[in-house]
């Protein structure tokens, strides 16, 4: 061990002792329950919209990851997480509908980021056209649930909202089909060349959505599709039994919140099982060294196409949900910046890491939809009150600059991401003392990968 490493170890000893005390016996249960009680009380007692509530919402969502990482029993984690997500957040959403919409979007993008993580993080295939599959799912339901379908099939009426559930599965299948279509021409490419080609194919979908309004009006061009159908509500008796009187808009908000929560849970389960299977080990081997993977008998073409198909299928399903949630879609919604945004979620959280990707998605979504616009609004208010902020400085114009600076700082000081996969952390910090394993799940991947390679 070098002198620098010994110094780092001594400075971290106090932190390690505190973690040991907090993670022993009933201490973690008490600390987490106290944290959850305080944050929940702050949310429910002060549901006003403002920067203070924004920060409390961030603390509430971070609580989910603290529960995940805490050394407590699985039953405790599941029970507390269910109470917080299925009771506290919906009640808070009824008191302030704005935040339930933001949390729903965060869950939606978390599922999208998990799909891209399969392609980029597991298989090592840099895909910059991922949003194309999101668009395919959105336009699929948008066309069939509106009068646009009569332009394609004369005489056919828009489908009733009850078809929405079937289209969730159809969106999954169509997304996987387009994923294979994208994967076929790029099988021999890797690295920068693969990124450029996928970027181009992603733009092809957006350009098609813009121009497929003639000679047959399929997508309604740049004007987009409005009044997209929604699934019928069936939860009114539940609210009536609970004595809750809420508007139809709020009912739909809670409806989509629970739907996104369910789809996200299924996505996490499927991705986790795939990562721990032979397929996941084959993806890891391909990511590390394609030549070695082929030498070990891994079917390269099949595994790559499977990665594209699995990642795209999640995007197709979430596209169907997105179009029903927004009731309006147009081509600019699915531009290159959307793909870059989803990729930044994966990189920020940690490529290959499931909890890291979800954390990255939550942080980027909150920054994009809530925190940065709120900070810009507060700075503009201070400017109007006479605080000496230069008149040429428009806070709203510098939101993306601040977001970019945060990403740069993040990549300098923690290039592996916030919650990285063990293998990637060891690659970037091989000269530092190896941390103690924190979970059996995370340590299983490198060992399994070694068995494939060796």
Task: Write out the chain's pLDDT in tens, 454 residues.
Answer: 555 556 555 555 666 776 676 667 788 888 899 999 999 999 888 888 877 888 888 888 888 888 888 888 889 989 999 999 998 998 888 888 888 888 999 999 999 999 999 999 888 888 888 899 999 999 999 999 999 899 888 888 899 888 999 999 999 999 999 988 888 887 777 777 888 888 888 888 889 989 988 888 888 888 999 899 898 887 777 777 777 777 888 888 888 999 999 999 999 999 999 988 999 999 999 988 888 988 988 898 889 999 999 999 999 999 999 999 999 999 988 888 888 889 989 988 888 889 889 988 988 888 888 788 888 888 888 878 877 777 777 777 777 788 888 888 888 888 888 888 777 777 766 666 655 554 444 444 444 444 444 3
Q: Which two three-digit tokens encode residue 74?
A: 């699985």
- In 3D space, the residue among 446, 352, 362 whose CA is nearest the CA of residue 116 turns out to be 352
Q: Model confidence over 265-308: pLDDT tens digits? A: 999 999 999 988 999 999 999 988 888 988 988 898 889 999 99
For residues 105 and 93, the answer to whether their CB atoms sit within 8 Å is no
Contact 279, 306 (CB under 8 A): yes
pLDDT at 8: 53
* C-alpha span between 205 and 131 (Å, rounded): 9
DSSP state of 119: I
pTM of the full predicted structure? Answer: 0.84
CB 226 within 8 A of CB 139: no
The residue written with tokens 């509908």 in the block is 97
418 phi and psi angles, rounded to 5 deg? -70, -45
How far is residue 20's CA from residue 13's CA, in Å, rounded to a whole number?
10
Beta strand 328-329 pairing with 225-226 = antiparallel
pLDDT digits (tens, 9 = 90+) for 168-212: 999 999 999 998 888 888 777 777 788 888 888 888 888 998 998
DSSP for 65-96, please give it: HHHHHSSS-HHHHHHHHHHIIIIIHHHHHHH-
Task: Provide the pLDDT for residue 10.
Answer: 58
Cis peptide before 348, with omega less than 30 degrees from 0?
Answer: no
Closest CA to 54 of 368, 267, 357, 294: 368
pLDDT at 143: 93
DSSP bridge partners of 328: 226
Q: Domain-by-domain residue ranges, the chain?
A: 24-95, 98-348
Q: Residues 150, 393: contact at Cβ < 8 Å?
A: no
Helix (H, G, I), strand (E, B) or coil at 31: helix
Cβ atoms of 251 and 235 closer than 8 Å: yes
Which residue carries 């329950």 as its tokens? 33
pLDDT for position 389: 76
Backbone conformation region of residue 325, classed left if phi is above 0, alpha if psi is from -120 to 50, else beta: alpha
Give the per-residue pLDDT at 394.
Answer: 75
Cα distance between residue 318 and residue 256, in whole Å: 11
pLDDT in the model for residue 171: 93
Residue with tokens 């927004």: 326
**pLDDT digit string, tens, across residues 368-398:** 887 888 888 888 888 788 777 777 777 777 7
Six token digits for residue 97 = 């509908």
Taking the CA atoms of 302, 307, 309 and 310 in sequence, report the sign of the dihedral they define.
Answer: positive
For the record, the structure tokens of 384 come out as 């109007």
Decide if 284 contacts 293 (C-beta within 8 A): no
What is the distance between the alpha carbons of residues 452 and 215, in angstroms, rounded to a whole number?
Answer: 53
Which sign, positive or negative, has the C-alpha torsion 241, 242, 244, 248?
negative
- Tell me the per-residue pLDDT of 279-290, one tens digit each, with 9 for 90 and over: 999 999 998 888
Strand ranges, E, within 188-273: 225-226
């Amino acid at each position: 061990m070098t002198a620098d490493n010994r110094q780092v170890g001594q400075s971290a000893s106090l932190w390690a002792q505190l973690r040991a005390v907090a993670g022993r016996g009933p201490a973690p249960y008490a600390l987490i329950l106290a944290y959850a009680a305080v944050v929940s009380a702050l949310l429910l007692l002060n549901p006003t919209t403002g920067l203070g509530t924004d920060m409390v919402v961030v603390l509430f969502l971070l609580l989910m990851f603290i529960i995940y990482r805490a050394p407590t029993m699985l039953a405790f984690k599941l029970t507390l997480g269910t109470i917080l997500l299925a009771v506290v957040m919906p009640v808070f959403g009824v008191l302030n509908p704005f935040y339930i919409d933001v949390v729903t979007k965060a869950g939606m993008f978390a599922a999208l980021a998990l799909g891209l993580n399969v392609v980029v993080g597991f298989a090592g295939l840099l895909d910059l056209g991922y949003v194309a599959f999101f668009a395919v799912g959105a336009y699929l339901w948008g066309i069939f649930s509106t009068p646009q379908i009569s332009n394609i099939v004369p005489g056919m009426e828009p489908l009733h909202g009850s078809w929405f559930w079937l289209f969730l599965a159809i969106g999954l299948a169509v997304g996987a089909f387009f994923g294979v279509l994208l994967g076929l021409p790029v099988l021999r490419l890797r690295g920068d060349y693969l990124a450029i080609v996928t970027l181009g194919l992603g733009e092809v979908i957006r350009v098609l959505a813009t121009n497929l309004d003639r000679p047959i009006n399929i997508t309604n061009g740049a004007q987009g599709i409005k009044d997209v159908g929604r699934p019928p509500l069936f939860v009114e008796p539940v609210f009536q039994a609970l004595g809750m009187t809420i508007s139809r808009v709020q009912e739909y908000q809670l409806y989509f919140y629970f739907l996104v929560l369910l789809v996200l849970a299924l996505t996490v389960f499927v991705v986790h099982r795939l990562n721990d299977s032979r397929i996941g080990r084959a993806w890891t081997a391909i990511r590390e060294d394609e030549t070695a993977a082929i030498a070990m008998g891994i079917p390269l073409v099949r595994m790559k196409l499977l990665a594209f198909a699995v990642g795209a299928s999640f995007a197709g399903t979430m596209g169907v949900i997105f179009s029903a949630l927004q009731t309006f879609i147009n081509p600019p919604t699915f531009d290159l910046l959307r793909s870059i945004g989803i990729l930044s979620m994966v990189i920020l959280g940690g490529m290959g890491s499931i909890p890291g990707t979800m954390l990255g998605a939550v942080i980027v979504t909150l920054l994009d939809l809530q925190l940065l616009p709120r900070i810009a609004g507060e700075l503009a208010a201070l400017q109007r009150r006479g605080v000496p902020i230069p008149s040429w400085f428009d806070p709203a114009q510098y939101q993306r600059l601040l977001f970019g600076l945060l990403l740069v700082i993040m990549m300098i000081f923690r290039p592996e991401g916030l919650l990285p996969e063990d293998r990637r952390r060891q690659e970037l910090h091989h000269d530092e003392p190896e941390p103690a394993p924190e979970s059996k799940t995370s340590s299983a991947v490198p060992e399994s990968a070694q068995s494939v390679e060796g």
